Amino acid sequence: MAAAARPRIAGPHPVAPGPADPVNVSQPPSPPVRLVRRAALPFLAGLMLAACGGPRPGPPPAPAAPPAAQADPVLPPLKIGLALGGGAAKGFAHVGVIKMLEANGLRPDVVAGTSAGSVVGALYAGGMDPFLLQERAVALDEASIRDVRLFSGGLVQGLKLQEYVNDQVGKRPIERLRKPFAAVATRLETGERTVFVRGNTGQAVRASSSVPGVFEPVTIGDYQYVDGGVVSPVPVDAARQLGADFVIAVDISNKAGGRRPDGMLGIVNQSIAIMGQRLGEQELARADAVIRPKVLEFGSADFSRRNQAILEGEKAALAALPQIRAGLETLQAQRLRQAREQQARMAAQRAAAEAPACDEDGSRWNPFRRKDGTCAASR
């Protein structure tokens, strides 16, 4: 019996004969199947319309970029202070110290002086460079700063010293000098340390240099003042008060080392040094670097060795340069570390202030949740 012919489906391309289909397409579908199809059509149409009408999904969020590295904070330069101690004619060594410091790029920003240190400090703060300082020191006539007067509380009045200093600084008051300057004296009535940072420059220097028993006490206002070396032989604390971050102290004070001082001025100076030695050691310990020119053998009134004193100041400052540079580097590194820590704390506070808060349960449906899936703790 001949095989029944396979029905052909009309279309533009003929279908090649093949194995039998599992469903006989020549027969119409049964009524239950037709009902299921009719019921499903509205549901499918609704889904298609919802898909077309709804918002299209956007691209997935990009991964959060890592936080950019913060640049190091910019720090102001360290403010260097110079504390020049007392020592009468030994104070010429201060000129050599300043000369060597500046030659190596270390220019003090503030200056404090006691006694002879206040004389050199005032001239330097007034704008003299180290070479002009040396020129004036070499040319200094002792008679130009010494005015002897008997039976007045001292052998030297000190008015000539006051006028000399005022002439050298152009008669400017302390607050108008080129660098911040302080002269340290001792209030005679109470023994208190007094730091002059404004007013008559020459008068403040005269008060700071009035060695008891040699110079007359200086009357300023309602009080009398004598040499600052009685309470502050090397004015480290005064330099700090002027705002110094790093204090270089220059110690030329007499030491009671078993030698007998020469002359009345030497005796008085050593007596003052003995009285203020303990205080001076405590104050020197608060300096960042100490320079000690080898001038202990020089007489307190020996102006003839001024050139040698200047040279000793240069040598002592040169020897102290490694200590000074190391101290400056250490202090700057410490300041940078503290500034970085402060910067990190401020950045964390800003981030916490800008981040939205989560609900207590941290629900993922929280509308304040950020796109990256995180949110800040409740504030």
Domain locations in the chain as residue ranges: 80-334
Q: Do the beta carbons of residue 377 and residue 358 sit within 8 Å?
A: yes
Sign of CA dihedral 104, 81, 121, 85: negative
pLDDT on residue 93: 97
pLDDT on residue 366: 53
Residue 26 annotated in active site:
no
Q: Do the beta carbons of residue 255 and residue 296 sit within 8 Å?
A: yes
How far is 343 from 146, CA to CA, in rounded Å? 57
Residue 227 annotated in active site:
yes
- E strands, the chain, are 80-84, 110-114, 181-187, 193-196, 218-220, 223-227, 246-250, 289-291
pLDDT on residue 5: 45
Active-site option among 109, 210, 227, 251 = 227
Question: In tens digits, what is the pLDDT along the chain, a chain of 379 residues?
Answer: 444 444 443 444 444 444 444 444 444 545 554 544 555 555 555 555 555 555 555 566 555 555 556 677 788 899 999 999 998 899 999 999 999 999 999 999 999 999 999 999 999 999 999 999 999 999 998 888 888 765 555 578 899 999 999 999 999 999 999 999 999 999 999 999 999 999 999 999 999 999 888 889 999 999 999 999 989 999 999 999 999 999 999 999 876 666 666 666 667 767 766 766 777 889 999 999 999 999 988 887 888 999 999 999 999 999 999 999 999 999 999 999 988 888 888 888 888 888 766 555 445 455 555 445 555 554 4
The model carries a pTM of 0.73
Q: Do the beta carbons of residue 169 and residue 122 sit within 8 Å?
A: yes
- H/E stretch holding 250: strand 246-250
The residues near 292 (Cβ < 8 Å, ≥ 6 apart) are: 250, 251, 252, 316
CATH architecture of 80-334: 3-Layer(aba) Sandwich (3.40)
pLDDT on residue 22: 41
**What's the start-to-end Cα distance of the chain, in Å?**
92
pLDDT on residue 141: 85
pLDDT on residue 214: 85
